[in-house]
């Protein structure tokens, strides 16, 4: 009886060990490939418990999530022959585990291939643009082009390039001062041009204002002459009407007006024979 129990226990232990070696778990962040003597037997991209043949099959697991690969800074030559050190990184993921293990085998080899392809595309795309364009907002569109090209190049390896970004782009230390001086000179040139355009515009505005002042003054003077003429004509009509109404009173009023002008303008020599003073000397 005791021997039978031991036999059953051994059998159960063997079964447990066999099941343990047969099962493997794939969680929601993983995908797995089952290899038998180097040949792909099956692939699993859904989470759960799966089985393999113990001691024969080998299970290789890969991430399903997006991976980051930090590419070493590299020198590129721009269209205007400037040297630029670009530090980039790539976001990528394994979208076809079977194709990936057939071509890349390991993550390390995949990163090496990504490094070559992404850097090659960055170098080719950036070489078509000037230094100023690369450091401007246009760089985003250049990186999108790099991402598209790299994604197409790595499609047959079961890899998808999600995005390519630039951490920073620097000038080589030996070129920093020269570029700084050139940029400073360009900014001074632009400032001088803007200042000259401002002065030209100011002269134009000043000339236009002077022209408007001249026109306005001429119009005002013309209008004043017209008003003065109308006033004098109106006064003449009033004088004529007053004279027709009472010639004697009109003559008196005109003489008194003359006295006011004469007496206020200096020394006056009177003479009784002067017609204008008749109202003075004839007063009794």
Looking at residue 170, the DSSP 8-state letter turns out to be E
> Within the chain, where are the H helices?
2-22, 97-103, 107-126, 131-134, 139-153, 173-245, 247-263, 278-281
Question: How would you class 160 by CB atoms within 10 Å of its CB: exposed for 0-12, middle for 13-18, buried for 19 or more?
Answer: middle
Work out whether strand 67-70 and strand 39-44 pair parallel, antiparallel, or are unpaired.
unpaired
Do 70 and 94 touch, CB atoms closer than 8 A?
A: no
pTM higher than the cut 0.85: no
Do 18 and 1 touch, CB atoms closer than 8 A?
A: no
Do 162 and 92 touch, CB atoms closer than 8 A?
A: yes
Work out whether strand 30-36 and strand 74-77 pair parallel, antiparallel, or are unpaired.
unpaired
Q: Which residues of the chain fall short of a pLDDT of 70?
A: 1, 174, 265-277, 279-284
Do 160 and 62 touch, CB atoms closer than 8 A?
A: no
- Per-residue pLDDT, 266: 63
- Per-residue pLDDT, 59: 92
Tell me: the pLDDT tens digits for 145-157?
A: 999 999 999 999 9
CA distances from 204 to 56, 196, 200, 214 (A): 91, 12, 6, 15
Locate 133 and state its tokens: 């364009």
- State the greatest distance between any 2 C-alpha atoms of the chain, in Å, as a whole number: 181
Helix (H) or strand (E) run with residue 92 in it = strand 83-94
Do 165 and 143 touch, CB atoms closer than 8 A?
A: yes
- Per-residue pLDDT, 178: 75
Question: How would you class 75 by CB atoms within 10 Å of its CB: exposed for 0-12, middle for 13-18, buried for 19 or more?
Answer: exposed
- Per-residue pLDDT, 219: 95
CA 219/CA 225 separation, integer angstroms:
10
Do 134 and 75 touch, CB atoms closer than 8 A?
A: no
- Per-residue pLDDT, 265: 66
The alpha carbon of 140 is separated from its chain's Cα centroid by a whole number of angstroms, namely: 12
**What phi and psi values does residue 163 have, to the nearest 5 degrees?**
-165, 150
């Amino acid at each position: 009886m005791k021997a039978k129990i031991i036999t059953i226990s051994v059998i159960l232990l063997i079964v447990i060990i066999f099941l343990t070696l047969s099962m493997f778990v794939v969680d929601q962040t993983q995908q797995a490939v089952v290899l038998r003597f180097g040949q792909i037997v099956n692939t699993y991209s859904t989470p759960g418990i799966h089985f393999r043949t113990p001691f024969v099959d080998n299970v290789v697991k890969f991430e399903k999530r997006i991976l980051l690969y930090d590419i070493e800074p590299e020198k590129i030559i721009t269209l205007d022959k400037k040297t630029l050190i670009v530090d980039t990184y790539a976001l990528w993921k394994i979208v076809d585990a079977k194709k990936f293990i057939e071509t890349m085998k390991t993550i390390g080899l995949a990163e090496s291939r990504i490094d070559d392809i992404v850097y090659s595309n960055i170098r080719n795309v950036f070489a078509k643009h000037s230094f100023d364009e690369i450091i401007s907002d246009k760089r985003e569109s250049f990186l999108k082009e790099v991402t598209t090209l790299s994604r197409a190049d790595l499609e047959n390896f079961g890899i998808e390039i999600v995005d390519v970004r630039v951490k920073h782009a620097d000038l080589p230390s030996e070129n920093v001062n020269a570029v700084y001086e050139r940029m400073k000179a360009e900014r001074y040139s632009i400032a001088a041009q803007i200042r000259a355009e401002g002065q030209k515009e100011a002269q134009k505005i000043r000339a236009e204002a002077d022209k408007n002042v001249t026109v306005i003054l001429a119009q005002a003077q013309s209008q004043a002459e017209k008003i003065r003429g109308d006033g004098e004509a109106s006064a003449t009509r009033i004088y004529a009407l007053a004279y027709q109404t009472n010639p004697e009173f009109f003559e008196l009023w005109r003489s008194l007006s003359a006295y006011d002008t004469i007496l206020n303008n200096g020394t006056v020599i009177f003479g009784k024979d002067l017609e204008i003073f008749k109202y003075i000397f004839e007063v009794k």
